[in-house]
Amino acid sequence: MRMLLKASMNTEKANELIRNGTLGKLIEESMEQIKPEAAYFTTEGGCRTAFLFFDLKDPSDLPVISEPFFLELCADLTYTPAMNREDVQKGLSRLGR
Protein backbone atom coordinates (compact mmCIF):
# COMPACT_ATOMS: atom_id res chain seq x y z
CA MET A 1 0.00 0.00 0.00
CA ARG A 2 1.28 3.44 -0.90
CA MET A 3 1.80 5.53 2.22
CA LEU A 4 2.70 9.09 3.05
CA LEU A 5 5.07 9.37 5.99
CA LYS A 6 5.24 12.85 7.46
CA ALA A 7 8.17 13.30 9.83
CA SER A 8 8.33 16.58 11.75
CA MET A 9 11.74 16.76 13.36
CA ASN A 10 12.44 18.20 16.80
CA THR A 11 14.43 21.38 16.14
CA GLU A 12 16.94 20.93 18.96
CA LYS A 13 17.67 17.29 18.03
CA ALA A 14 17.96 18.15 14.32
CA ASN A 15 20.28 21.07 15.15
CA GLU A 16 22.45 18.71 17.19
CA LEU A 17 22.69 16.23 14.30
CA ILE A 18 23.52 19.01 11.85
CA ARG A 19 26.25 20.30 14.16
CA ASN A 20 27.82 16.86 14.55
CA GLY A 21 27.44 16.08 10.84
CA THR A 22 25.11 13.07 11.13
CA LEU A 23 21.72 14.36 9.91
CA GLY A 24 22.60 13.76 6.27
CA LYS A 25 23.71 10.21 7.06
CA LEU A 26 20.49 9.50 8.96
CA ILE A 27 18.40 10.79 6.06
CA GLU A 28 20.40 8.76 3.52
CA GLU A 29 20.07 5.57 5.57
CA SER A 30 16.33 6.16 5.90
CA MET A 31 15.99 6.74 2.14
CA GLU A 32 17.88 3.52 1.41
CA GLN A 33 15.62 1.57 3.76
CA ILE A 34 12.27 3.14 2.80
CA LYS A 35 13.02 3.57 -0.92
CA PRO A 36 10.45 6.35 -1.38
CA GLU A 37 8.99 7.02 -4.81
CA ALA A 38 9.09 10.71 -3.83
CA ALA A 39 10.67 12.61 -0.95
CA TYR A 40 10.17 16.27 -0.14
CA PHE A 41 11.76 18.33 2.61
CA THR A 42 10.33 21.60 3.87
CA THR A 43 9.21 23.30 7.05
CA GLU A 44 5.83 22.97 8.68
CA GLY A 45 4.81 24.58 11.95
CA GLY A 46 8.35 25.86 12.37
CA CYS A 47 9.90 22.36 12.20
CA ARG A 48 12.00 20.66 9.57
CA THR A 49 9.58 18.23 7.95
CA ALA A 50 9.96 15.37 5.49
CA PHE A 51 7.15 14.02 3.32
CA LEU A 52 8.00 10.54 2.03
CA PHE A 53 5.77 8.57 -0.34
CA PHE A 54 6.59 4.86 -0.31
CA ASP A 55 5.16 1.38 -0.72
CA LEU A 56 4.44 -0.26 2.64
CA LYS A 57 4.69 -3.96 1.86
CA ASP A 58 4.05 -5.19 5.41
CA PRO A 59 2.71 -3.29 8.43
CA SER A 60 5.37 -5.00 10.57
CA ASP A 61 7.89 -2.75 8.75
CA LEU A 62 6.53 0.32 10.57
CA PRO A 63 8.71 -0.02 13.70
CA VAL A 64 11.88 -0.42 11.63
CA ILE A 65 10.96 2.65 9.58
CA SER A 66 9.80 4.75 12.54
CA GLU A 67 12.35 4.13 15.26
CA PRO A 68 15.31 6.01 13.72
CA PHE A 69 13.11 9.11 13.44
CA PHE A 70 11.86 8.69 17.01
CA LEU A 71 15.21 7.82 18.57
CA GLU A 72 17.50 10.20 16.69
CA LEU A 73 15.21 13.15 15.99
CA CYS A 74 12.39 12.95 18.55
CA ALA A 75 10.21 13.34 15.45
CA ASP A 76 6.43 13.42 15.32
CA LEU A 77 5.33 10.91 12.69
CA THR A 78 2.09 10.37 10.85
CA TYR A 79 1.31 7.69 8.30
CA THR A 80 -1.49 8.25 5.79
CA PRO A 81 -2.61 5.91 2.99
CA ALA A 82 -2.14 7.72 -0.33
CA MET A 83 -3.20 7.21 -3.94
CA ASN A 84 -1.79 8.39 -7.23
CA ARG A 85 -4.01 9.39 -10.15
CA GLU A 86 -4.21 5.84 -11.49
CA ASP A 87 -5.33 4.55 -8.08
CA VAL A 88 -8.09 7.15 -7.90
CA GLN A 89 -9.27 6.34 -11.43
CA LYS A 90 -9.29 2.61 -10.64
CA GLY A 91 -11.26 3.20 -7.45
CA LEU A 92 -13.77 5.47 -9.17
CA SER A 93 -14.32 2.89 -11.93
CA ARG A 94 -15.46 0.44 -9.26
CA LEU A 95 -18.33 2.71 -8.23
CA GLY A 96 -20.37 1.45 -11.20
CA ARG A 97 -21.74 4.86 -12.10
* 6-36 pLDDT, tens digit each: 999 999 999 999 999 999 999 999 999 999 9
- Distance set, CA 18 to CA 2, 5, 13, 35 (Å): 30, 22, 9, 23
User: For 35-77, how does the pLDDT look when each residue is reduced to its tens digit (9 = 90+)?
Assistant: 999 999 999 999 999 999 999 999 999 999 999 999 999 999 9
Return the pLDDT at 20.
97
Phi-psi region of 45 (alpha: psi -120 to 50; beta: other; left: phi over 0): left
pTM, two decimals, is 0.90
Single out the residue of 37, 33, 12 nearest to residue 23, CA to CA.
12
Average model confidence (pLDDT) across the chain: 96
Nearest to 14 by CA among 43, 34, 37: 43
**Residue 97's pLDDT is what?**
65
